[in-house]
Amino acid sequence: MTIWLSTGLIFTFIAIAFILIKWGNIKCIGVTPVKTFTFIAILFTSGLDVGLIMFPLTEFAGYADLATSPEYAFTNPLAIEFGFWAFLIWGFYFLTCFYFCVIEPRVKFFELPLIKLINNVVIIGTCAFTAYLLLTNLPWYMPELGDGETIVGSFYLIVFTVICAAVYSSTSIYYVRILSLATTWAFIGLIVVMWAGAFLGEGSSVGEFATTLGLIGGYFGNIHQFVLPLNDYHEFYLFWWFAWSIMIGQFTSRFVGGLRTYQVLAAMLVIPSIPIAAWFAVLYYYSVNSIDTTGFYNLAMVIVGVTFVVNSLDSLVRLYTDNLNIGVEKIGKVKYLIGNVVALSLLTLLFKLDFLQIQWVGAVVIGLFFTCFGYILLKKFSVVRAIDSSPSANKIDFNKIDLLK
């Protein structure tokens, strides 16, 4: 699996470089273009899940344990966490977003029946994994409902409610956009509240935040270390990002509103990384200074984490139901709601039983990357070579765009 993953990573970064060289200055316009802030909000909230909120506090100590994991010795735990979640890794989303915005409309590889089936199985499986992550992390963040380790009935009810909310939200793109913007502001609010609790109290100062944030420079000074997997845990993260990459690119490509290719890459790498860096720096300060987060802070993190899950799931449910032509208009609202809730709930339980692994899903996505490349070389090489713009059918009239429509 390591060789397969490493090959996929090398291919991905070479493909990104090629796109920048050949199409770096063309305007990317999706089928439903929106203004840049809305596009970034949709990208950020759809492209991340509950792990961003709930994982770091449980992981910093592991990255600092060099006796167990000496491969992390080249930099500090905050830089490691940032490298697993931000900047370079968002190039995966850029590659697929550009492909679905500019190339796929001419190639139509993902409209081939077998490929469409595999792609939608990947999307549905990853949706369930997102719900599973929420389920498995709730005991740590809400020990008041249990013993801090065991998954109890209340946690299943919370996750089931989240799945229901996400499926309902997916019935209208209006809800998806509203929730994306609301989740973005909720996350910013969480950062501000926890930042104030850490750096405005007695015994601390704003200068300590700057010092902590500066540790992220350890990532940029060692960025080459993150190109290939460091260990099995890094492999897990990388397969996870691959699993998300096609569906997030397919979904967000709809909303690109005229940015040039290099600007899309810069926006995807830099803009999401800024709040992620601030958030991780705050959490790292809590971790190294043993500041208690139980009670209000944990509850606030759970609430924002839940909104991330709802926001991720509604986007993906909307995507695979559109792909499979089983949207509300086609099968009716009741069948749509019941069918998706049941399917996602059952698949979440399969992840809980270790019957499914996200690494398998990521490996399938890498296979789709290679298969798509081969298909272009054999069947569509001249068509792709001739591309010099976004599809002519995609047009922008921002005077008619309502951000919440």
Full DSSP string of 132-189? HHHHHHHHHH-GGGSSSSS--HHHHHHHHHHHHHHHHHTT-HHHHHHHHHHHHHHHHH
- Over residues 368-394, the mean pLDDT reads 92
pLDDT, one tens digit per residue, over 47-65 is 676 778 888 988 999 999 9
pLDDT, one tens digit per residue, over 178-233 is 777 788 888 899 999 999 988 887 777 788 999 999 999 999 999 999 999 999 99
- Over residues 349-373, the mean pLDDT reads 87
pTM listed for this prediction: 0.86
pLDDT value at position 397? Answer: 54
Is the per-residue pLDDT at 22 higher than 60?
Answer: yes
- Over residues 247-261, the mean pLDDT reads 88
Alpha carbons 38 and 36: distance in angstroms, whole number: 5
Sorted by where each starts, the structural domains of the chain and their CATH numbers stand as 25-392 (1.10.4160)
Alpha carbons 342 and 166: distance in angstroms, whole number: 13
